[in-house]
Amino acid sequence: MKASPKTLLATLRGVRQERPSLWLMRQAGRYLPEYRALRETKGGFLELCYDPEAAAEVTLQPIRRFGFDGSILFSDILVIPHALGQHLWFEAGEGPRLAPPLVDEAIGSLEAAPQRLGPVYQTVERVSRALPPETTFLGFAGSPWTVATYMVAGQGSKDQAAARRMAYGDPSAFETIIGAIIDLTVSYLAGQIESGVDAVQLFDSWAGSLSPAQYERWVIAPNAEIVRRLRALHPDTPIIGFPKGAGGKLAAYADETGVDAIGLDETVDPVWADAALPAHLPVQGNLDPLALVAGGGALDAAIDRILAAFPDRPHIFNLGHGIVPDTPIAHVEHLIKRVRGG
């Protein structure tokens, strides 16, 4: 395979860099004044996601400002249930809503609307043409368990109780929901790849809420199936898995899903992760987003600890979760300079 000038992409393929590549989850968003200005002109969040011109602009904003090594598609994980036929909207100050909630309705009652994903592919095409040649373009989707928690409850929750109850009480019905999410997610990620992304990430934001046996069934097995199918279609496209909250189950996730790289949340000790994960598996992470808000000596110490934790392993520097809206831009600039050794 021809060597890539994209250092982040090379890292995902197992090539360790002298200094790690860098991007930040949610790097396109509310902490940027240019994002807030554009959002005011476009109305709601979902409308912004489905406007290819505007979504491409949002995706490119942090690349222009900071020169990150990776650009992450601006979209939302809930476009999948929307395309499966649920109604999706965002309540101001409260977050997403999906109707009908599948705790009350069978998924077979929904009328699928895969055409709703068309604008996302158009966004990918626009961004792919506009990115600098050295910038790796990352697509993404939510993992089945996390997406299902929203579909079952009709909204987010602190403990994912509705989905957990269904998974225990009616595993056949829950399996049907998971299967539908898997099928569409494979198609969706393949569409992103065919439209121009270089790699993809699977976000399992609520992986930490499950018991070990449930975790095997609803996190590891569905992600492994997505990886298997997607790799059959696009064998050269790296896949990052991000099972937030997995803790001690990270090694099993890495071994059994077959992902090319694994994201670490901020609760994971990077020294432990380096010892516990398969040798030479690329890792991504895992600065606490609130350390980035705090800045100063606390930020420097946290950065340095992470940089020192992976002496022989391919490493992509990132946050342990998404950047928060009140993050000072000066702290992001300082982070970039310190990681790059400037």
115 is in an annotated binding site: no
99 is in an annotated binding site: no
Catalytic residue among 76, 204, 265, 274: 76
* 22-24-27 Cα angle (round to 5): 130
User: How crowded is the C-beta side of 163, counted as CA atoms within 13 Å?
Assistant: 29
SS3 204: strand
10 is in an annotated binding site: no
Encoded tokens for 51: 């406007």
Q: How far is CA 216 from CA 121, 168, 269, in A?
A: 32, 13, 22
The number of angstroms, rounded, from the C-alpha of 263 to the middle of its chain's C-alpha atoms is: 9
Please state the φ and ψ torsions of residue 315, each to the nearest 5 degrees: -140, 135
44 is in an annotated binding site: no
CA distance 301 to 307: 10
19 is in an annotated binding site: no
Is 104 part of the annotated catalytic residue set?
no
331 is in an annotated binding site: no
Catalytic residue among 26, 164, 217, 313: 26
76 is in an annotated binding site: yes
Encoded tokens for 52: 């290819």
Catalytic residue among 16, 30, 65, 165: 30
Is 231 part of the annotated catalytic residue set?
no
Would you call the peptide bond into 286 cis, given omega within 30 degrees of 0 as the criterion? yes
Catalytic residue among 35, 50, 150, 215: 150
Is 30 part of the annotated catalytic residue set?
yes
188 is in an annotated binding site: no
30 is in an annotated binding site: yes
Catalytic residue among 13, 31, 35, 39: 39
Question: Where do runs of H (alpha helix) occur along the chain?
Answer: 7-12, 33-42, 45-49, 52-66, 79-84, 118-130, 144-153, 161-169, 171-195, 212-215, 221-233, 250-257, 270-276, 289-294, 296-309, 329-339
Please state the φ and ψ torsions of residue 190, each to the nearest 5 degrees: -60, -40
Binding-site annotation, residues:
26-30, 76, 150, 205, 321
Binding-site annotation, residues for substrate:
26-30, 76, 150, 205, 321
Q: Which residues are catalytic?
A: 26, 30, 39, 76, 150
